[in-house]
Structure 1
Amino acid sequence: MFLGASDRGAQLIQTLTYQAFQYSSMLIPEVADTPKPIDDAIRWGFMHESGPFEIWDMLGVAETVEQMKAAGYAPAAWVEDMLKSGCASFYQYKGDNKVGIYDVNKKKYVKIARAPGLVVLSELKKAKKIISENTGASLYDMGDGVACVEFHTKMNALDDDIFNITIEALDRVEKDFVGLVIGNEADNFSAGANIFMVVVAAQQGMWDVLEGAVAKLQNMNMRMRYSARPVVVAPAGLTLGGGCELTMHASRIVAAAETYIGLVELGVGVIPAGGGMKEYMRRILNPLMRVPSAEVLPGLMKVFEQIGQAKVATSAEEARQFGILGPADRVVLSRNHLLAEAKKEVLHMAATGYKPPAPELIYAAGRGALAALRVGAWAFKEGKYITEYEGVIAGKLVNVLTGGDLSRPTWVSEQYILDLEREAFLSLCGEQKTQERMWAMLNTGKPLRN
């Protein structure tokens, strides 16, 4: 659109684009025999979606060359030689896949070498490796005794279809496979729960349905955590809310380096209810409170701030600092290799005799810490850092984080915290201001602070 327009802004875009194409073509064959290494460098080094020659292919090489020459940015001579030889693009395509690349020295397409063991879900689908599927998710046989669940809803939002396929996958893995990968090739692993379903159910008073959905997510996550077979989750891109909670219950996480992950539910007026708060308490409070004479408030404040401020880690390594990734979890730089590395991790864990973790009690600080956090939330509200209603949400949050109105600190079961999460979530869903926040997010894509 910009390349075809004539205003000053479009002229700037045209100049920058044609200059980039000209410069990139001049680098060959000095720094590479083919365009592919340059495209790879731009995508991997600068996190661009496409390199210059990939973009050039999209625009049409022959047409763009004429426009570049007319604008005074003629490409390197080899580009026109390529076109004269009958090669109309830099890449050779088979369907949507790149199978070849033009080699300047050989003056023909050469096959693109493929990394051994690379997993491509579209190829598994063509090979009829789908075990089960519905409109929200698919279950694949990846080979070597490893199964894979792929989400394919809009933004991979979690819904009942995804729950059903994942539960079926856990059933099948116990009998027929050595382990399970949960991942996909979309830009985003999961943007969270389907809030349209949530707000409609709340407004229609379908509380049994809503509670059943939350309980289903909780039970699915807990089953993943204590599965006898390793369950490896491979997040990438946006991994928010319920997607983050699902990831935190994996036996092992193999994350793409560019993963944006966090519990953001407060932005739509609720608290995490899929076990995310329970996991933060287990990971941050439990180790702290096993130390004699330790103070719980610093740990509680860290968890409270991360959830209360809806903090999102901007990389997988930052997620490790948050406590979302653990010391044994891995980070993969190449997005294309993520599923293959997740599969390798499943096979490694199975080969080394994976055993699920033992059930763990959660430290609940009780009413003393609850009062202290309530005072902190009140101070934020009085200082106008949060709205009146955000103070209500914060009250629900701290109630769960401290285990409720317990007379003294104690260790409670995971299910106890899950029940508190679910109760708080449902009560907030019934509030008009929460419903307004959900509709605002659905209609504008931005959080409403009411």
Structure 2
Amino acid sequence: MNRFHVRQVAVLGAGVMGAQIAAHLVNVKVPVVLFDLPAPEGPKNAIALKAIEHLKKLKPAPLGLAADAARIRAANYEDDLALLGQCDLVIEAIAERMDWKHALYAKIAPHLAPHAILASNTSGLSITQLSEALPEDLKPRFCGIHFFNPPRYMALVELIPTPTSDTRSLDQLETFVTSTLGKSVVRARDTPNFIANRVGIAGMLSAIHQAERFGLGCDVVDDLTGKKLGRASSGTFRTADVVGLDTMAHVIRTMQDTLGPDRANDPFHASFATPAVLTRLIEQGALGQKSGAGFYKKVGKDILRLDPARGDYVAAGGKADPIIDRILKKPAGERLKLLRESGNPQAQFLWALLRDGFHYAAVHLGDIATSAREVDFAMRWGFGMKQGPFELWQEAGWQQVAQWVKDDIDAGRALCSAPLPDWVFDGRTGVHTPEGSWSPAASAPVPRSTLPVYQRQHFPESLVGDGSIDALRSGTEVFRNEDLRLWTLDGEVLIASITCKLHLISPAVTEGLMKAVDLAEASYQGLVVWSPDDVFSAGANLEALMPVFMKHGAKGIAPEEKKLQDLMLRVRYASVPVIAALRGIALGGGCEFAVHCAQRVAAMESYVGLVEVGIGVLPGGGGLTWIARRAAEKAASAPGTDLLAFLKDGFQAAAMATVGTSALESRQLGYLLESDVIVPHKDELLHVALGQVRALVQAGWRAPVKAPFAVAGRDAIATIQASLVGMRDGGFISAHDFHIASLIAQVVCGGDVDAGTLVTEDYLMAMERQRFCALLDHPKTQERIMGMLQTGKPVRN
């Protein structure tokens, strides 16, 4: 793959978006210079420096590691323009004013490197009009780049070319944004608000309009339009609060100002009026989450919602009617039929919302996007929808839904009277096919991009009807049981995919992974453990062990725990490399398995930790043994140092159930090593993991040699327990937390032995197992386990 080598990036504008884009660049180890105006007093870079410092305090955290804020270089437009010549990419992210952007371009253009790409991060201004202020030689290297907030977490980036944008520059930028920044790119046409905001804000306006029509409070609307509808959990009004009501109003104004009342321009224009309730809130300074009040307001621990009729806040907590819950669990076609035909106001609201979405997307598809694919992916990646509008329409039955929408338009129930396009009724069964997705401009399906960067994605996200092969049905299957599949893509590397819910480690998973190692050693270069969703493993399957526990008690669990520990050692000392491809959560037993692998390849958003304390036990699958061994290895490389100094962090992480909130923080906690690979794009994880197996084999990889190692002994246990007593007596931990932490200290320090005593992994794992099983008999632990099984939440007792 021909990469665009980005040695350094400049971000112009240290506001909310600019600073957070800079933060994500340092997350992926790209050097960045953050520019802003020179401060009127004090240090010239004070504005940029303040923004960088503020990044450490934001939630959700824009930085994988808060300390990486120091990697962002502050600069100003008076003293530091020469730095632009050292940058391969310049992202402009100042306020949404065409005249301000033009003035800035005039200032920076002479200082840009002759090969540098300049991109404007704008949510809706015309990219073509922005380019008019640029020198002719720079226009081919200019385009729009629209990150979604917050940039670290939101997958979508829209790239918007102008008529003069160079195809090669766009391809280079798409490759960089995809593989280096880990984002999912949609190319949008240069129309107001592009794709996601154009369709998404129209949908939010429809929701506000229909909520008022059917008399629904914002809390009920958010419950209806959140996860139950296959959308972001924040629903409609809470999403507006998070985005910022002033930002939402700005996007609405862009639609009002640029689309105009001319029906030939946008027949939905009449529905773009800024809702009166939104105007009132902004006038009051209630801008949403950033101001402490918007559609919602937090008072103490209570969440209040706005009552527009009273103009005040009232208790929130309204939910969808039970009948709506049941309807929303039905298959798509039946679900839409029931919503449309129901007399329930909530059902009528949802049908109206979905109908308006289908109508708007179909009418504007040819104007805003190359094909239906871009619309559906933009809504999935930018607005958190499980399915875009065309996907849902297609799954529910294209012609039937089209007729329902047409009937509502003809009856005057839709937002506008514009008819559905002719292509909707040409006998098709949908817009997504194995040949590509429908493009009105081409009057044919358009295939996916063939850029080389996408060859790194073995199983990119699919769309309903596009013919994509399910990862868990692809390749050559070697073995399968009820919870795990073994398969291969190339006959050289074996892949293990856990298939049960949350990829919990059951006896069947343990057995299957043991078989995987045996098969890999016999016939393959190595083994990759990977699954195509956002869970590596949430830990041990407690429910699967309950029958054994109920019949035999803790002594019946001991043999199963021994099998799990044996698996960890089998993986660690396998004669071929075993790679853990982490994505999403790797907790408890999932973390223990990962740390015993030869190497870990982790997506940036990987959350790793030993969390067993939450259910009243200690890590019993080799996790504490691993902490002790790693501490011994570190101490051995630093002669004359106290082993306890290397043990404290690992002990504390296990005793406090600390979870790394990114792959970077998981590395800081020790669950990932410096030699492990962090992959920005989740869909490249399998490609990189398979490559790592081959690289290790070609480099002559051999398993580590089993050897005893030193432990800290009884004196270290006493030191740790002294600090635990203070935490217990100060009310920071409960008596049961103290008990569990004391047992953890005993294991990681090696028990009642002298400091420096050499022990084996089998010795420590036996200690783990004995204490794990003893805790299972403790009433407080049983309370925690039952609470977790019943509610999914930890019990503090």
| TM interval, short-chain normalised | 0.7 to 0.9
One-letter identity of the residue aligned with 1:348 = A
RMSD: 3.4
Structure 1 residues 155-304: aligned runs within 5 Å:
155-284=502-631, 286-288=633-635, 290-304=637-651
1:80-95 → structure 2 map (5 Å cutoff): 80-87=421-428, 89-92=430-433
2:691 corresponds to 1:344? yes
Cα offset, 1:89, TM superposition: 3.7
**1:124 and 1:142 in contact (8 A); partners too:** no
Residue type at the aligned position of 1:33:
T
Corresponding residue to 2:483 among 136, 153, 162: 136
Equivalent residue for 1:358? Answer: 705
What letter matches 2:771 in structure 1?
A
Q: Percent identity?
A: 30
Superposed displacement of residue 127, structure 1: 6.2
Query: Do the aligned residues in 1 keep the contact of 2:492 with 2:524 (CA within 8 Å)?
Result: yes
| 1:107 matched to 2:448 | no
Name the residue aligned to 2:179: none
Q: Deviations over 1:208-228 (max 9, x none)?
A: 541111111111111111111
Deviation of 1:279 (Å): 2.0
1:153 to partner: Cα distance: 2.0
- Contact 2:712/2:754, CA 8 A, preserved across alignment: no
Letter in 1 for 2:436: G
Rate the CA distance shift 1:309–1:25 in 2: closer, same or farther, 3 A.
farther
Shift of 1:448: 1.0
Letter in 2 for 1:299: F
Q: Hey, what does 2:298 align to over in structure 1?
A: none
Q: Tell me whether 1:34 sits opposite 2:375 in the alignment.
A: no
**Uncovered stretches (5+) of structure 1, i.e. residues with no partner:** none
- Bigger drift between 29-38 and 63-72 goes to 63-72
Displacement of 1:378 in angstroms is: 1.4
Note if contact 2:620-2:769 (Cα within 8 Å) is conserved in structure 1.
Answer: yes
Question: Contact between 1:284 and 1:323, CA under 8 Å: does it hold in 2?
Answer: no
Contact preservation (8 Å) 1:254, 1:338: yes
> Per the alignment, do residues 123 and 117 of structure 1 end up closer, same or farther by CA in structure 2, a change over 3 Å counting?
farther
Specify the code of the residue in structure 2 equivalent to 1:72.
L
Instruction: Within 5 Å, give how 1:399-438 maps onto structure 2.
Output: 399-438=746-785
**1:138-153 → structure 2 map (5 Å cutoff):** 138-153=485-500
The Cα offsets for residues 338-367 of structure 1, whole Å up to 9 and x where unpaired, read as 223322222222233221223354441111
Contact 1:146 1:177 (C-alpha < 8 Å) held by counterparts: yes
Q: Secondary structure at the match of 1:260?
A: strand
**Residue deviations 1:388-439, cap 9 Å, x none?**
1111111111111211111333342222222221121111112122122111
Task: Note the alpha carbon deviations across 1:256-278, whole angstroms, 9 max, x for none.
Answer: 22222211101111111111122
2:679 matches 1:332: yes
Are the equivalent residues in 2 in contact too, given 1:22–1:73 (CA < 8 A)? no
What is the one-letter code of the residue matched to 1:101?
Answer: S
Whether contact under 8 Å (1:56, 1:64) holds in the other structure is no
SS of the counterpart of 2:780? Answer: helix
Query: Is this contact kept in 1: 2:627–2:647, CA < 8 A?
Result: no
Q: Deviations over 1:308-341 (max 9, x none)?
A: 1111222222211111111222223333332233
Aligned to 1:72: 415
TM-score normalised according to structure 1 size: 0.85
Aligned pair count? 442
Q: Could you say what secondary structure the match of 1:189 adopts?
A: strand
Determine if contact 2:366/2:439 at 8 Å carries over to the other structure.
Answer: no
TM-score scaled to structure 2, two decimals? 0.50
1:371 paired residue number: 718
